[in-house]
Structure 1
């Protein structure tokens, strides 16, 4: 990429405007002096005044207030010449016949100079206050733009785009990466750095000092590079290439740049600290999940395996001593624990697929009554100690769902309800329509008569590997069932919620699918 160049037409126009700005104050002072002189001639023609010199203070004050001391001095010189030429004898000559007029002219010039100096000082203070107010307003606007940004690339783009417009310059931000400074963001995006620019930026980074620009004889780079740092550490370097033909920043722009660099450094450090904190949080969360997973696997794999091994080894060693009922019971135990182990492995695989984001629902028309009955048949071995009641509202419309995912989600909810329900307790499942005819939804509600959900567990109920504490009545589980149910429901566009029952003790799970 090549460095952006200024078109010749734009360059000539910029020089013309710059020249006009330089000449305009003196042309204006000449015009005002001419008008005052014409006014003085009209006054003298109609009135007898002993001295008309004070009228020439007007162009001096006007030039001082509007353009500063040099324009005021120019206006004072023009006023002296005009007063001498048009009002002092001999008229229309630059000579003075009366010595008193020389003294008067001298004091007039002195008064004009003092007045112009005072007015120019007041003008300079006013301009300085206005410049500071503009800079403060720009910095406030800039700080608002970068205050809520949490992504580093977004922050850097806002910085370079804003400063490029505010300073009328090319802006580039360099940050250390793998031991060397690298351009992270630039405006315009195709702005490129040559070897001289890189060397100047590296020097600014190494010595923590502003380098480059036309005023730096050591570093041959037209860009001005300023280090950005906080009290804690260095952050990076900002490079500025003014597009003005002079190649220099005005004092106002330089003040804005220095103040903006401080804000940029704080904002970048804030984003980097937030990123580090997020990485630390994710690392701690990964470690927590890893520990929970290892704990769950070590317990939930060994428990069914121990039952399976114990049952089968007993049959192998003492099978001929057992009667038919005992052998059938041992085989049933082994089969039940093997099915439990299969569900555990299936939950691990399902959670892995959810975390990887590779589950794509295969939608089809699903009858809600068929979904409920199929799930109940599959879950019947788990619900053998509970009284199960189901209710499906007639004429419910079909849902567009993945039957396998929806059935697994409902199965996991029933499995959870069975674990926390007392022996002989009632477990109910209800399918109903909710909402308006247009934009309504189908709700599947599962209620149990267990101890309910502790307030502290409500917010974590669907977290991976989380298991609510319910003493010895709780059957072993992985803490993945409800998390998988939530994932399967949400991937199909539905929602799942849990709450305590209002009519008695127990929990209520509501799965909602849009029509």
Structure 2
């Protein structure tokens, strides 16, 4: 403020000196009236540039110079009659009129400039609010944007009975919370008290109030706060609708999952149950007439189909746990080579004439995993290889170390996976040319591997330029087996 006054005084002084020089030139050539008009012009310019105070100062100084230097007798102040008072009255009237007009014009121009800046800031803030899809994002965007764009502190409050709860992380201010309650209970949506401006964003349960206070000049206009309140209310409504749409989509997805699960269970359980029922009925009805080999074959079929049902059940339970976000299973330090070898032995009885090969690495790679789930994952992948290959073909499991990870490749020389379906084989219930299985095995494998911080992928070809390969990478554990 002091600097502004000093500048104004300097400008007025310089202007008066310039006008005095012109008036002194005019008085010699054109007379006192011309010099007086020059002073009137200078006073008007001072008022137009600097306002009423500057115009009055210029009028007093101009009258003193005009009366002392330019009127007869020179170098003497004289106010003897109306002719001597006329210049003083004229100068001051000019100063008053030009100063008032200039001040109003300047105020209107400053007000228009301030309004324009705030409207531009409001537009920029509206663009940022459009990208906020959650209430927390709206609160953060509003706080940052209002501070940097509008030069104001803005906070949102949720009205909870007789309390106003701040949605921001900042400590609550008693002045702001009380003002938010008064705004919510007031007859109008907009409330102004000193520097605080409040805007109600709706009534009833879950009502919210926005409170704004300017950080400095220019003063935040109530109309701007009202417009900002409308934008925030729309953003909150849009966020609520977005949450509702998300919930409905999740419910629809859950319903689809349930339908797919029921369809898969009804189909996949029916086949082994039918086989078990037929074998058991044959043994009961014709057991005495059947030769030992036929009886043993029927019994093995019952055991295999029972084992198959057990795998389906284990897959469904594990998939349900993954979908529900269940807690991680306890981990152990395991030899990946031993786990792969054990899984091959479990799969071999139902693999027909397929040949298995295991290529290990020295030293044995150690991983941290749950033994039962790790074996289930490996069995699912090996079963997938068996289901996609013919009798007499080869299935190979190889282990290696790769950049701090244990890499497990399980490849077959079967029918392969179309390249367009490589990214889909890990989806729930997806089956590519399969006639049996729940379509959960590879989905469970992905959930297990990703939970341990590893990766899993499918690629083609597998062995001998045919088939496919599933590659698992799990973080290595350095240390001895315990």
| Superposition TM-score, scaled by structure 1 size | 0.74
Aligned partner of 1:211 in structure 2 is 190
Q: 2:122 aligns with which of 122, 132, 139?
A: 139
State the 1:102 CA deviation: 5.7
Contact 2:396–2:410 under 8 Å retained in 1:
yes
Q: Give 3-state SS (helix, strand or coil) of 1:321's partner.
A: coil
| CA distance 1:173–1:73, change in 2 (3 Å) | farther
Q: Give 3-state SS (helix, strand or coil) of 1:464's partner.
A: coil
1:189 and 2:171 aligned? yes
State the 1:431 CA deviation: 1.9
| CA distance 1:505–1:281, change in 2 (3 Å) | farther
Q: 2:444 aligns with which of 484, 500, 504?
A: 484
Q: Give 3-state SS (helix, strand or coil) of 1:466's partner.
A: coil
State the 1:61 CA deviation: 3.5
CA–CA distance in structure 2, aligned partners of residues 496 and 65 of structure 1: 75
State the 1:72 CA deviation: 5.4
Aligned partner of 1:422 in structure 2 is 390
State the 1:374 CA deviation: 1.5
Q: 2:263 aligns with which of 282, 292, 295?
A: 295
CA–CA distance in structure 2, aligned partners of residues 363 and 64 of structure 1: 86
CA–CA distance in structure 2, aligned partners of residues 239 and 82 of structure 1: 57
Structure 2 residue runs without a partner (length 5+): 477-482
Contact 2:53–2:99 under 8 Å retained in 1:
no
Contact 1:170–1:188 under 8 Å retained in 2:
no
- 1:483-502 CA distance string (max 9 Å, x none): 11111112222110012217
CA–CA distance in structure 1, aligned partners of residues 56 and 95 of structure 2: 11
1:217-232 → structure 2 map (5 Å cutoff): 224-228=197-201
Contact 2:39–2:62 under 8 Å retained in 1:
no
| Superposition TM-score, scaled by structure 2 size | 0.78
1:149 and 2:132 aligned? yes
Q: Give 3-state SS (helix, strand or coil) of 2:438's partner.
A: coil
CA–CA distance in structure 1, aligned partners of residues 6 and 362 of structure 2: 94
1:55-70 → structure 2 map (5 Å cutoff): 55=39, 57-58=41-42, 61-66=45-50, 68=51, 70=52
| CA distance 1:454–1:128, change in 2 (3 Å) | farther
Aligned partner of 2:211 in structure 1 is 240
Aligned partner of 2:426 in structure 1 is 462
CA–CA distance in structure 1, aligned partners of residues 220 and 53 of structure 2: 21
Contact 2:212–2:225 under 8 Å retained in 1:
no
Aligned partner of 1:315 in structure 2 is 283
1:513 and 2:481 aligned? no
Contact 1:161–1:187 under 8 Å retained in 2:
no
| CA distance 1:257–1:475, change in 2 (3 Å) | same
CA–CA distance in structure 2, aligned partners of residues 241 and 148 of structure 1: 22
- 1:306-339 CA distance string (max 9 Å, x none): 2222322332233222222222122111111111
Q: Give 3-state SS (helix, strand or coil) of 2:296's partner.
A: helix
Contact 1:351–1:484 under 8 Å retained in 2:
yes
Q: 2:79 aligns with which of 95, 112, 123?
A: 95
1:352 and 2:323 aligned? no
CA–CA distance in structure 2, aligned partners of residues 450 and 202 of structure 1: 74
Contact 2:199–2:210 under 8 Å retained in 1:
yes
1:391 and 2:376 aligned? no
- 1:93-138 CA distance string (max 9 Å, x none): 6836363x66655665565456546644653454245324532553
CA–CA distance in structure 2, aligned partners of residues 55 and 415 of structure 1: 105
Aligned partner of 1:408 in structure 2 is 376
Q: Give 3-state SS (helix, strand or coil) of 2:453's partner.
A: coil
| CA distance 1:41–1:71, change in 2 (3 Å) | closer
State the 1:44 CA deviation: 8.5
Superposition CA RMSD, Å:
4.2
Q: Give 3-state SS (helix, strand or coil) of 2:288's partner.
A: helix
Contact 2:359–2:398 under 8 Å retained in 1:
yes
- 1:30-82 CA distance string (max 9 Å, x none): 7765676678789999997555543565565345434x4x4456446645764
Contact 1:26–1:71 under 8 Å retained in 2:
no
CA–CA distance in structure 2, aligned partners of residues 89 and 210 of structure 1: 68
CA–CA distance in structure 2, aligned partners of residues 496 and 104 of structure 1: 97
CA–CA distance in structure 1, aligned partners of residues 453 and 332 of structure 2: 11
| CA distance 1:409–1:92, change in 2 (3 Å) | farther
Structure 1 residue runs without a partner (length 5+): 1-19, 216-221
Aligned partner of 2:479 in structure 1 is none
